[in-house]
Copies of this chain bind each other. A is one copy, B any other.
């Protein structure tokens, strides 16, 4: 067997020890984030994985890159959920369901709302990035809800990311993640309250909200 012991991650060959260290780091990071929050020291993650801190840096150049990798599956799940909801019969409810799922993810552990906001708002040049696979269908959910007259048309997708992230952050700060869904109910109401004047699915026509 002349071929060296390698494996693949993405499209790059890796030495087996490197690949194993990478996996150990990811497992260690997942546990550490869940236990101590997204601000846990990188030293502790490396220690738990049984590797040097320098090795951690070699595999993951930034805390964010490590965090994003540990969230990959959940982010993909959020994207899939958005795509599935696109065929749901009620566009307004579909959007709400997705926003609540995103919020649940955002408060999964302490300190996550900030990094998650960054990840979701990063416009990666790599079009196949997770971020796009989440945002594209989710933004579509918003458009569909607006076209159905279920949500105000003056709302942009980034407004939703900001509002949900902000709520998640506030709940996280108070160490009361259970408050998050309640606060989101209020925001959901805001999205719908002024939705439309005429069409089938619409809420009743209302006066303009008071912008100043």
Binding site for B on A (CB under 8 A): 93, 96, 100, 114, 117-118, 121, 155, 159, 162-163, 165-171, 173-174, 179, 181-183, 185-194, 206, 209-212
Q: Which of B114, B174, B190 has a CB less than 8 Å from the CB of A193? A: B190
| Nearest 10 Cβ contacts at the A-B interface | A193-B193, A166-B166, A190-B190, A166-B170, A189-B209, A162-B170, A189-B190, A186-B190, A185-B209, A185-B211
B170, B191, B193, B210: the one within 8 Å of A165 (CB): B170
Contacts of A173 in B (CB 8 A): 114, 117-118, 165
In the complex, chain B residues whose CB is within 8 Å of the CB of A210 = 93, 96, 185, 188
Most buried by B among A168, A188, A209: A209
In contact, A179 and B193 (Cβ under 8 angstroms): no
A6 vs B185: C-alpha distance when bound (angstroms): 56
What separation, in Å, do the CA atoms of A211 and B169 have in the docked complex? 19
